[in-house]
């Protein structure tokens, strides 16, 4: 069976989001299918400027074809247009204009999808909100499978997406909450789909003591891993954590791992270590008491799954329905809606080792049942087999 993955960016340097999700799935499913990837030459997700010079390459055994972005995104123009659309009544044409600005604008990619539909049995599109998915699915609706990676983002309410969600042959959702949201918006219950998500692997050995020694972290600490950004709720995390320290006198430190676009508070117990290697990251999670996940919008938090795989409890933002739902289903994490809930939940986790251990066990069991690669691969195979049965 020949399957084509279509995604906005692709490369070993891209280590997060839907792009990494796509690469992992493509690499794992290449055991069963003949896999190819169509993507753009962009690396920067803000401007989509052409970065990769080569048009054809092989990455970890997967043939990848890159197509040029004809017009890079102008963040100012895009921001103004998005603000206008969000705040005013608008027409469908405005939403199409927004989609063109959203990009990555690569008509050659869509032309190739259309021209080569005979070569592939199915096309798996990642991320509903980009140009390639929208026009790609319209080009080959009968052969398309959509991995929407949707969040509670206002743009999902655009009219153009309601029709889009009824077009593909099947959906691969990341969470039950994402499925409910998309079905509630578009009434696409007739389109088959399953909640799959993405698997992850944690190293066989990780050592919190090694992390402490290497980075000079002493005492108990909680950890945040990911882009340090207001969109990820980090500003609230700083505010709540410092207030928590003042009110409770807790000795816990906050360790931040990842690149930042926010100023880090100047406090002795807030440590920013920057971007770390995978081994250091896992060592850091291993040594932490709790993983903090303050993001408001997540379609599927890989680092949360990694923490559960390592038996660590999670404290998540309840405003993110996906995280809250996963915490409730796994019984592996708490969630907060206000500072008071943050304080009580974190205090409970930091002062009760038995509770941390029990939540860690639950998280690990939830991960094993739903997010190991065997489970994920079988779900993808079952979805495609289901499509083959119903012509």
Q: How far is the CB of 343 from another protein (least distance, A)?
A: 9
Does the footprint of another protein cover residue 331 (CB under 8 A)? Answer: yes
Q: What percent helix, strand, coil does the chain show, rounded to 5? A: 45, 20, 35
Report the residue number, 108 or 358, with the smaller CB distance to another protein.
Answer: 358
- Give the number of other CB atoms < 10 A from CB of residue 334: 21
Rounding to the nearest 10 degrees, give the CA dihedral for residues 228, 230, 233, 235: 90
Q: Which among 133-141, 296-304, 345-353, 377-385 is the span making contact with another protein, rule CB under 8 A?
A: 345-353
**Residue choice 46, 348, 369, 382 for contact with another protein (CB under 8 A):** 348
User: How far are the Cα atoms of 34, 148, 186, 222, 325 from residue 127, in angstroms, in the given order?
Assistant: 22, 5, 16, 31, 21
Say whether residue 287 binds another protein (CB under 8 A). no
CA-wise closest residue to 309 among 379, 212, 204: 204
What is the C-alpha to C-alpha distance for residues 92 and 95, in angstroms, rounded to an integer? 5
Choose, by CB under 8 A, the member of 83, 111, 189, 352 that binds another protein.
352
94, 229, 239, 341: which one binds another protein (CB under 8 A): 341
**In the complex, minimum distance from the CB of residue 157 to another protein, in angstroms, rounded to a whole number:** 18
Which of 108/347 has CB closer to another protein? 347
Question: Running DSSP on this structure, what letter comes out for residue 230?
Answer: G
Work out whether 332 is an interface residue with another protein (CB under 8 A): yes
Residue 219 CB, shortest distance to another protein, in Å, is: 21
Task: State how far the alpha carbon of 220 is from the alpha carbons of 19, 37, 154, 255, 364, in Å.
Answer: 34, 44, 38, 10, 21
Smallest separation, CB 332 to another protein (Å)? 8
The Cα–Cα gap between 43 and 45 comes to 6
Angle at 319 between CA 250 and CA 90, to 5 degrees: 145
355 makes contact with another protein (CB under 8 A):
yes
Please state whether 17 falls in left (phi above 0), alpha (psi between -120 and 50) or beta.
Answer: left
Among 358, 375, 381, 387, binds another protein (CB under 8 A): 358
Smallest distance, another protein to C-beta of residue 85, A: 16
Least gap, CB of 342 to another protein (angstroms)? 10
Least distance in angstroms from the C-beta of 154 to another protein: 17
Check binding of 334 to another protein (CB under 8 A): yes
**248 contacts another protein (rule: CB under 8 A):** no
Q: Does 116 bind another protein (CB under 8 A)?
A: no
Complex with another protein: residue 204 or 354, whichever CB lies closer: 354
Distance, CA of 247 to CA of 164 (rounded, Å): 49
How far the first Cα of the chain sits from its last, in Å, is 16
Is-cis flag, bond preceding 104, omega within 30?
yes
Q: Does 344 bind another protein (CB under 8 A)?
A: yes
Does 347 contact another protein by CB under 8 A? yes
**Could you say whether residue 366 binds another protein (CB under 8 A)?**
no
* Binding segment (CB under 8 A) for another protein, from list 127-135, 164-172, 216-224, 332-340: 332-340
CB closer to another protein, 154 vs 218? 154
State the nearest-atom distance from the C-beta of 289 to another protein, in Å: 16
Which whole-number Å values give the CA distances from 180 to 134, 183, 192, 304, in the listed order? 20, 5, 13, 21
37: tokens are 């990837």
Q: Which residues bind another protein (CB under 8 A)?
A: 327-328, 330-335, 338, 340-341, 344-345, 347-348, 351-352, 354-355, 358-359, 362
């Amino acid at each position: 069976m020949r399957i084509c993955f279509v995604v906005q960016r692709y490369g070993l340097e891209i280590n997060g989001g839907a792009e990494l999700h796509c690469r992992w799935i493509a690499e794992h499913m290449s055991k069963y299918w003949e896999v190819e990837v169509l993507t753009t030459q962009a690396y920067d997700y803000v401007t989509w400027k052409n970065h990769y010079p080569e048009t054809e390459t092989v990455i970890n055994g997967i043939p990848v074809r890159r197509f040029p972005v004809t017009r890079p995104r102008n963040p100012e123009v895009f921001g103004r247009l998005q603000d206008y659309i969000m705040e005013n009544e608008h027409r469908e044409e405005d939403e199409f204009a927004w989609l063109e600005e959203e990009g990555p604008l690569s008509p050659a990619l869509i032309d190739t999808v259309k021209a080569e539909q005979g070569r592939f049995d199915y096309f798996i599109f990642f991320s509903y909100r980009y140009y390639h998915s929208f026009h790609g699915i319209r080009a080959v609706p009968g052969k398309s499978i959509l991995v929407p990676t949707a969040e509670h983002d206002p743009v999902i309410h655009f009219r153009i997406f309601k029709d889009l969600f009824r077009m593909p042959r099947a959906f691969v959702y990341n969470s039950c909450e994402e499925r409910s949201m998309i079905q509630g918006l578009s009434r696409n219950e007739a389109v088959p789909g399953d909640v799959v998500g993405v698997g992850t692997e944690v190293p066989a050995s990780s050592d919190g003591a090694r992390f402490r020694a290497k980075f000079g972290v002493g005492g108990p600490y909680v950890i945040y891993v990911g882009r340090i950004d207001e969109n990820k709720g980090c500003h609230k995390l700083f505010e709540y954590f410092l207030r928590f320290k003042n009110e409770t006198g807790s000795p816990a430190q906050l360790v931040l791992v990842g690149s930042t676009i926010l100023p880090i508070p100047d406090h002795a117990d807030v440590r920013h270590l920057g971007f770390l290697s995978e081994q250091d990251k896992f060592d850091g999670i291993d040594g932490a008491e709790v993983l903090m996940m303050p993001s408001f919008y997540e379609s599927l938090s890989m680092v949360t799954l990694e923490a559960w795989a390592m038996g660590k409890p999670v404290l998540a933002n309840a405003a993110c329905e996906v995280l809250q739902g996963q915490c409730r289903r796994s019984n592996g994490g708490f969630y907060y809606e206000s500072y008071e809930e943050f304080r009580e939940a974190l205090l409970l986790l930091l002062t009760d080792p038995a509770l941390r251990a029990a939540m860690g066990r639950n998280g690990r069991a939830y991960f094993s049942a739903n997010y190991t690669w065997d489970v994920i691969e079988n779900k993808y195979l079952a979805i495609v087999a289901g499509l083959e049965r119903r012509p």
